[in-house]
Amino acid sequence: MRSSRFVSSTMARSPPAAAVACLLVAAVLLPAAAAEKAKAEYVKYKDPKQPINERVDDLLNRMTLEEKIGQMSQIERANATTEVIEKYFVGSVLSGGGSVPSEKATASVWQKMVAAMQKAALKTRLGIPIIYGIDAVHGNNNVYNATIFPHNVGLGATRDPNLVKRIGDATAHEARATGIPYTFAPCVAVCRDPRWGRCYESYSEDTRLVQLMTSSMVTGLQGDVPSKHPKGVPFVGGSKKVAGCAKHFVGDGGTQRGINENNTVLSFHDLMRIHMPPYDNAVIKGISTVMISYSSFNGVKMHENKFLITDTLKNKMNFRGFVITDWQAVDRITNPPHKHYYHSIEETIHAGIDMVMIPYDYPEFVADVVKQVKAGQIRLDRVNDAVSRILRVKFTMGLFEDPLPDPRLAKELGSKEHRAIAREAVRKSLVLLKNSKKGHKEGMLPLSKNAKKVLVAGSHAHDLGNQCGGWTIKWQGESGNNLTGAGTTILEAIKKAVSKNTTVDYVERPDKDDLAKGAGEYDYAVVAVGEPPYAETAGDNQNLTIPSPGPEVIKDVCGLVKCVVLVVSGRPLVVQPYVEYMDALVAAWLPGTEGQGVADVLFGDYGFTGKLPRTWFKSVDQLPMNYGDKRYDPLFPFGFGITTKAAGHD
């Protein structure tokens, strides 16, 4: 028994020769099989070590026609369910103006929404991530409690490109805080007529100033392009930066009578001289995308202008990012909209459109494009070019390696650091147009912090919505103090600035008779008037008058009390009839949430440094009138602004 156990034990430790041979074969074959399997599983487009162009080509070659057309589709957030994203291989999702996951949604709620969409995209056969876009045009302005910076016209008044770059960086961080990696900004229009409802989205009437600010904002949003980076190739410098979008290509700021989406009538030379240079600057700085304008150039809708989109932007200027339409723009090529939609799709894609913003009609769009490609009406090489450009941007952004929102960034939304930058921007954007009445040697400003009693009046003195203007939480913006979350009104800023012993009376619309009785009690008055919020066509205005009761408040208050008038607006307004009543006049533009920046300068903690980014006309009958025109007779010329020093300085 002992011997038997010994033998069995020995045999267990020493297998027969046949078994040894099998083990040896397995030892050779298993690693080879594993290597073969690994080799089969290796996918070039998923390898971040590979050159981007090779990854693009590899992925493109794996895609079906339906997957390609899905990449060319951008749909509205409200429609981007898991089922829709997976069924249509959706390439991009956007928030239209005011489209949010829920009222007063936090950064975390936004992140959760974006993550759910992204996970749906990653489940598709090829796992191509979506790119989520939003109009973060003066901060991440759709989002509750975000920092709302001054609109572009105010930034143009600062003449400070470094500040604009920092605003771009802060905006990128606040977009990423909500999980969003793509913004439809900057608007690089050269607004040549303030009657245009989008004029506040333009840095200036002056092409060179727009170029300067464009370069700074693009680098702020996307990061600094490396010195040897090839011109036209998109660039996004890391997970805290976003892809930008230069818009609206091209000439949208030059339409006749400033009517939105109207016809820009110019020679090609003047189009290239006035409106095109900011796009060239954006391309040089690695802009990722370009959005086309609803407007026309000499009667041809920009969305079907192949000469300007393909021949000029893509070929001559060497732009290698992707071209995107505006909201439902394919529909709006025709009048009425959506008529001959099938043909409009063909025209826009052949003109050079790569991604189509189809918030609602994506099933029809996809079906029509599939049908037209199969029928040879839309060339497959044009589709391949479009998809290659979209994929290039996605690879450049690092979406394949890092597709999901970073929860650690949520705290960046509305941070103290960003609000400090916004406050700095406000004080640098203010333009002092008048500082004393005729015959008075001493200027009214800066105001005394130790006054006994002051009056604050006007529709814009205590209204965050009016301060911020359009594109704030809602597409058109909205008056009132319940819109943005955190923020400081001009009235609140004044109360914080003055002595605790100063009485501040606030009456939005003072009664003239009552005011006359107590006018002598006031050391001075601050009157803030201006425009209500608006966006796009709703802001087109052929009169440009200060809405009532603004003029009446100016005359009543300034006729009885020493006063400074703040014009809170997206453009110059008719003020000439009232200037004689004022001791001081300040163009405050649309300052955003940080009203404390207004008080910083009014009370002399900082001097006035802003310069007019636009000509301030006397009468709308003079419009359009811009710096350099032969007939130039403004109330205040382009570049005007009285400079002061901080109180206490010689």
Catalytic site residues? 326, 536
In 10 A of CB 312, how many CB atoms?
A: 21
- The Cα–Cα gap between 159 and 361 comes to 42
Q: Is 243 exposed, middle or buried (0-12, 13-18, 19+ CB in 10 A)?
A: buried
For residue 508, give both structure tokens.
């939005």
- The Cα–Cα gap between 560 and 590 comes to 27
DSSP reduced 3-state for 298:
coil
Strands (DSSP E) along 28-108, which ranges? 73-76, 92-95
- Please report where in the chains the tokens 């060319």 appear, as a residue: 72
Strand partners, 50: none
Q: Within 201-289, where are the H helices? A: 207-222, 268-270, 277-284
For residue 52, give both structure tokens.
């981007």
**Closest to 185 in 3D by CA, of 124, 138, 237, 230:** 138
Length of the chain: 650
- The Cα–Cα gap between 567 and 578 comes to 12
Q: Is 526 exposed, middle or buried (0-12, 13-18, 19+ CB in 10 A)?
A: buried
- The Cα–Cα gap between 603 and 596 comes to 11
- The Cα–Cα gap between 460 and 569 comes to 10
In 10 A of CB 416, how many CB atoms?
A: 8
Q: Within 331-459, where are the H helices? A: 341-351, 362-374, 380-397, 416-429
- The Cα–Cα gap between 452 and 521 comes to 8
- The Cα–Cα gap between 172 and 180 comes to 9
Inter-residue contact 508 to 461 (CB < 8 Å): yes
The enclosing H or E element of 114 equals helix 107-123
